[in-house]
Chains A and B, each alone.
Chain A
Amino acid sequence: MARIGVFVCHCGTNIAGVVDVKRVAEYALTLPGVKYAIDYKYMCSDPGQNAIIEAVKEHKLDRIVVTACSPRMHEGTFRKAAERSGINQYMSEMANVREHDSWVHSDDKEAATLKAMKLMEMSVAKVRRSEALSKMYATVEKRALVIGGGIAGIQAALDIAEAGHKVVIVEKDPSIGGRMAQLDKTFPTLDCSACILTPKMVAASQHPNIELRVYSEVVEVNGYVGNFDIKIKKKASSVDNKKCISCGVCTLKCPSKRAQSEFDEKIAPRKAIYTPFPQAVPNKPVIDREACTFFLTGKCRICEKVCPTQAIDFNQQDEVVTEKFGAVVLATGFDIFDSNVYGEYGYGEYKDVVTSLQFERLINSSGPTEGHVVRLSDKKEPKNLVWIQCVGSRDESKGRPYCSRVCCMYTAKQAMLMKEHYPEVNCYVFYIDIRAAGKNYEEFVQKAQNEYGVIYLRGRVSKIYEKKDKLIVRGADTLSGSQVEIVADMVVLANGLEPRKDAKSLAQLFHVSYDQYGFFTELHPKLGPVETAIAGVFVAGACQACKDIPDTVAQAGAAASKVLGLFSKEKMEVEPLIAKVDPLVCSGCETCYNVCPYSAIEMEDREVSRGNLKHVAKVLDSVCKGCGACVGACYSKAVDLKGFSERQVYDQIETVTQ
């Protein structure tokens, strides 16, 4: 007969303020098998855990139920307490009466108490049939995959590599570098972005532990922490990188004029065979088959003719490889908000309304205009510039209620740079509030206003329209309470940040959750900022939330240290909550084999009794995730889940429906 102890936590007033915890404990004592029950202020505290250990010893308990918060918070704590008290850790259960009860039913204390009693009773029913399970271990493949080669990915890869482990960076573009490579100077110090980024790009490419896979994407993910099997597709670049000597003749001679440079935010043309920018790493060109005359018409082959090393290979195919990794860092960064959503600003219609990234390319000395800021319409230097902040930030009506966190700062930066290059130009900034909460950030924005004479107008722009060759920017100045109209030559939209278009599908490959915009969800907003709910998958940079470079680098380092923590173990403890097959009952129908989403079931011919071979299913312990699909599918009830047996679940259902 089971000897169960029930421990009811107050969680301060979180639970006890709503649920009558004494009544719950008293009720527990009436349940069959319950030999001991108490309530206590904080079960998770040291004295609380000690109370459990003492009670187990004193009352010879062989299993426990802790009625407290979500198991996501403290299941580990109480399993360890169980172990320390001398019982198997899987002989402990939790009943969640906080998230599932007191927090959501604070308006009806009586009903909440009754519900707490039921939830506790269900856990008692379950633990009654618990069995001791032994720990399982898995090996750890000490090789990390970083997806995205922006500053986040580069930093994470360098940190892991420096600690002595192999890292692969998968980058979808032909070069690593990400957005930072596109930027001119960086706030709050106005140091040149490329000058601080390119050394890191080079370091990554030369590090013996780092392998770059550019022009590549992850297409399939299997396995679990320590043992991911990941399919990576390398798009055909039509260039044999072993032969290519990066001389650039092919790009120079390519006659195609079809494509616009993605790196230059489509304000300049690019060839069909190209490297995205001069400092690209690796510095190998790729052929954009959608723009290549040969691929479109069957004629041309000029690059092939001029290449001194015969490196052009029109027949190259996409290649898919499957490799093993122990941990993954997602670092796919951001896109800027689509300016077209703001019809009133006329982006796309008026050439001189540009995005913030386009402005970065215009003022960048290695950009298409060599740093001369000119109007895209007539190549004239603008005399009056207007920045509009919060284009796709803090705007419910456009589905973007959040603050993008970097735009106030980069607007101040861009206006200051403009003033530095062209002191006579007037710079106006329309803003809602200034959010400059980083180190030296507020000072930076103040400097823009006080020293550089950038004019800040607090209010939204309602409309831009063209008059002759000017842009009339109409907005409100809420400080003076009047309407203002500025006759501008150029308007820069301070676009907010959003996740990459394909972020959601990447998250789905890893079963990582994401918010309604597509930002990857961290494990805990405060206490798990780089982990995800999927063990072994970490996040870094702007793909998790809007952030600037300092925060991105910090998070990348944190993600790397989590990976290293994982790699510091030879073996990793994994949950033994997996399926098991009873070969005597199994009919060998293969249904479970077909439904298993993890390919964790194998069919084998096994001797079930002497001289009696039988075709039966077998669970591969290290692959099974314990999802239970096979249990539901089995016609003969030959499969069951350890720690979640059918009898346990039915007992719980019976309890709740009594």
Chain B
Amino acid sequence: MVKLGYFPGCSLSSTAKEYDISTRIVCEDLGIELVEIPHWVCCGATSAHITSDIAANALPAKTLIWAEKNNIPITSPCSACFSRLAIAHHTMATDEEMRKDVGEVVGEEYHGGAKVLHLARVFYETYGLEALKAKVKKPLKGLKVASYYGCLMTRPPEVCDFDRIENPMFMDKTVQALGAETVKWGYKTECCGAAFSLTKKEAVLKLTGDILSDAKECGADVIVVACPLCHANLDSRQREIERKSGKKIGLPIIYISQMIGLALGYNALDMAFKKHFVDPVKVLKEKGIL
């Protein structure tokens, strides 16, 4: 039985509600116990970490201290949260001065004892592909998947070093374990534009558009993601990109947890697909998965 501290992050109770729903269902089914970290605070992404070094480390410190005290590895389904937690852990483990300063701000010292895992890595590594395979009820046969890791899951390497940075494979292998096929493509770790969606929409439309069209050209039926912001950009901006280019894309963007959920036999309602802009149900039906 795997037990993990769960840090959902802010998106999982709003734009990415379905990621939260599917994660909880799937983990329960697999026997991964998620203990939501009591009174978790903002991870410090974007606004804090680009304006203040100390805030960038102090915000995650609260969560890290909880993990250290309770001796439970923590996981976040969100790449930005994961990145903030993992980088703050790394910074404080290597920079004694920062560790002390943060201790003063937070009122408690962190000693570097937490373990931070991305949710996608939990399925791949902590739970393990063999165990996962054994649980599959409905193999995702015939589904061609482009695995999109985004910019933060493997970077920076000194913090996230466990798969190849530029061409990671762990999500590909996870999806393959569920019975799907993965496509070779070039945009696995390219930037989707992230929070610039709000301030520089044009840039995001270009970046996201490139990712979507490459996946399409490489023959993908769907894209699998493990980050709420990647999902938001790829899913909600898709119609606009299609309108601008005049080309139909129609690529459903599916969370890794939803993908596993499908293979475990859950239906569209369970996985809350209705929250998506690009509806995955049609293609999943065509493939006989739903």
Residues of A within 8 A of B (CB): 343-344, 346, 349, 463, 465-467, 472
Which residue of chain B has the shortest Cβ distance to A467 in the bound complex?
B186
Query: Complex Cα distance A349/B169, Å?
Result: 13
The answer on a CB contact under 8 Å between A344 and B166 is: yes
Q: Does B164 contact A (CB under 8 A)?
A: yes
The answer on a CB contact under 8 Å between A467 and B217 is: yes
Query: Complex Cα distance A587/B266, Å?
Result: 90
Query: Complex Cα distance A466/B164, Å?
Result: 16
Query: Complex Cα distance A349/B185, Å?
Result: 13
Contacts A467-B217, A467-B218 given; does A346 touch B166 at CB 8 Å? yes
The 10 closest A-B pairs by CB, nearest first: A465-B186, A343-B166, A344-B166, A343-B165, A343-B164, A472-B186, A467-B186, A349-B167, A466-B184, A466-B186
Query: Complex Cα distance A366/B184, Å?
Result: 36
Majority SS of interface residues in chain A?
A: strand
Identify which of residues 91-117 in chain B touch chain A, using a CB-to-CB cut-off of 8 Å: none
Residues of B within 8 A of A (CB): 164-167, 184-187, 190, 214, 217-218
Residues of chain B within 8 A (CB-CB) of A467 are 185-186, 214, 217-218
Residues of chain B within 8 A (CB-CB) of A465 are 185-187
Query: Complex Cα distance A535/B218, Å?
Result: 64
Which residue of chain B has the shortest Cβ distance to A349 in the bound complex?
B167
**Please, could you name 18 A-B residue pairs with CB atoms under 8 Å apart, sorted by A?**
A343-B164, A343-B165, A343-B166, A343-B167, A344-B166, A346-B166, A346-B167, A349-B167, A463-B166, A463-B186, A463-B190, A465-B185, A465-B186, A465-B187, A466-B184, A467-B186, A467-B214, A467-B218
Residues of chain A within 8 A (CB-CB) of B217 are 467
Residues of chain A within 8 A (CB-CB) of B167 are 343, 346, 349
- How near does chain B come to A87, taking the closest CB pair, in angstroms? 57
Residues of chain A within 8 A (CB-CB) of B218 are 467
Query: Complex Cα distance A344/B164, Å?
Result: 10
Residues of chain B within 8 A (CB-CB) of A472 are 186
- How near does chain A come to B206, taking the closest CB pair, in angstroms? 10
Residues of chain A within 8 A (CB-CB) of B165 are 343-344
Query: Complex Cα distance A472/B213, Å?
Result: 14
What number of residue pairs across chains A and B have CB atoms under 8 A from each other? Answer: 23
Query: Complex Cα distance A346/B167, Å?
Result: 8
Query: Complex Cα distance A343/B189, Å?
Result: 12
Residues of chain B within 8 A (CB-CB) of A343 are 164-167
Query: Complex Cα distance A472/B164, Å?
Result: 19
Majority SS of interface residues in chain B?
A: loop
- How near does chain B come to A519, taking the closest CB pair, in angstroms? 27
Residues of chain A within 8 A (CB-CB) of B214 are 467
Query: Complex Cα distance A466/B183, Å?
Result: 12
- How near does chain A come to B163, taking the closest CB pair, in angstroms? 11
Which residue of chain A has the shortest Cβ distance to B189 in the bound complex?
A463
Give the one of A349, A465, A466, A467 with max B CB within 10 A: A465
Query: Complex Cα distance A343/B185, Å?
Result: 15
Residues of chain A within 8 A (CB-CB) of B190 are 463
Which residue of chain B has the shortest Cβ distance to A465 in the bound complex?
B186
- How near does chain A come to B176, taking the closest CB pair, in angstroms? 18
Residues of chain A within 8 A (CB-CB) of B184 are 466
Query: Complex Cα distance A343/B214, Å?
Result: 20
Which residue of chain B has the shortest Cβ distance to A463 in the bound complex?
B166
Query: Complex Cα distance A649/B190, Å?
Result: 65
Give the one of B164, B165, B184, B186 with max A CB within 10 A: B186
Query: Complex Cα distance A78/B42, Å?
Result: 71
Query: Complex Cα distance A573/B184, Å?
Result: 70
Residues of chain A within 8 A (CB-CB) of B164 are 343
Residues of chain A within 8 A (CB-CB) of B187 are 465
Query: Complex Cα distance A604/B214, Å?
Result: 84
- How near does chain A come to B196, taking the closest CB pair, in angstroms? 16
Query: Complex Cα distance A466/B214, Å?
Result: 11
Query: Complex Cα distance A7/B218, Å?
Result: 81
Query: Complex Cα distance A6/B218, Å?
Result: 83
Query: Complex Cα distance A420/B38, Å?
Result: 70
Query: Complex Cα distance A472/B186, Å?
Result: 8
- How near does chain A come to B149, taking the closest CB pair, in angstroms? 13
- How near does chain A come to B214, taking the closest CB pair, in angstroms? 7
Which residue of chain A has the shortest Cβ distance to B214 in the bound complex?
A467
Residues of chain B within 8 A (CB-CB) of A349 are 167
Residues of chain B within 8 A (CB-CB) of A466 are 184, 186
- How near does chain A come to B218, taking the closest CB pair, in angstroms? 7
Query: Complex Cα distance A465/B214, Å?
Result: 11
Query: Complex Cα distance A340/B28, Å?
Result: 41
Query: Complex Cα distance A463/B164, Å?
Result: 14
Query: Complex Cα distance A603/B218, Å?
Result: 80
- How near does chain A come to B33, taking the closest CB pair, in angstroms? 35
Query: Complex Cα distance A463/B189, Å?
Result: 10
Query: Complex Cα distance A334/B165, Å?
Result: 29
Query: Complex Cα distance A344/B155, Å?
Result: 13
Which residue of chain B has the shortest Cβ distance to A342 in the bound complex?
B166
Query: Complex Cα distance A3/B218, Å?
Result: 91
- Known contacts A346-B167, A465-B187, A466-B184; 12 additional CB pairs below 8 A are A343-B166, A344-B165, A349-B167, A463-B166, A463-B186, A463-B190, A465-B186, A466-B186, A467-B185, A467-B186, A467-B214, A467-B218
Residues of chain B within 8 A (CB-CB) of A346 are 166-167
Query: Complex Cα distance A472/B190, Å?
Result: 14
- How near does chain B come to A470, taking the closest CB pair, in angstroms? 10
- How near does chain A come to B211, taking the closest CB pair, in angstroms? 12
Query: Complex Cα distance A346/B187, Å?
Result: 13
Which residue of chain A has the shortest Cβ distance to B187 in the bound complex?
A465
- How near does chain B come to A340, taking the closest CB pair, in angstroms? 10
Which residue of chain A has the shortest Cβ distance to B164 in the bound complex?
A343
Which residue of chain B has the shortest Cβ distance to A472 in the bound complex?
B186
Query: Complex Cα distance A466/B185, Å?
Result: 7
Query: Complex Cα distance A463/B187, Å?
Result: 10
- How near does chain B come to A252, taking the closest CB pair, in angstroms? 40
Query: Complex Cα distance A467/B218, Å?
Result: 8
Which residue of chain B has the shortest Cβ distance to A344 in the bound complex?
B166
Residues of chain B within 8 A (CB-CB) of A463 are 166, 186, 190
Query: Complex Cα distance A463/B184, Å?
Result: 15
- How near does chain A come to B96, taking the closest CB pair, in angstroms? 24
Query: Complex Cα distance A627/B187, Å?
Result: 61
- How near does chain A come to B138, taking the closest CB pair, in angstroms? 32
Which residue of chain A has the shortest Cβ distance to B188 in the bound complex?
A465
Query: Complex Cα distance A467/B214, Å?
Result: 9
Give the one of B165, B167, B187, B217 with max A CB within 10 A: B167
Query: Complex Cα distance A349/B184, Å?
Result: 12
Query: Complex Cα distance A349/B168, Å?
Result: 12
Query: Complex Cα distance A349/B164, Å?
Result: 11
- How near does chain A come to B67, taking the closest CB pair, in angstroms? 30
- How near does chain B come to A397, taking the closest CB pair, in angstroms? 10
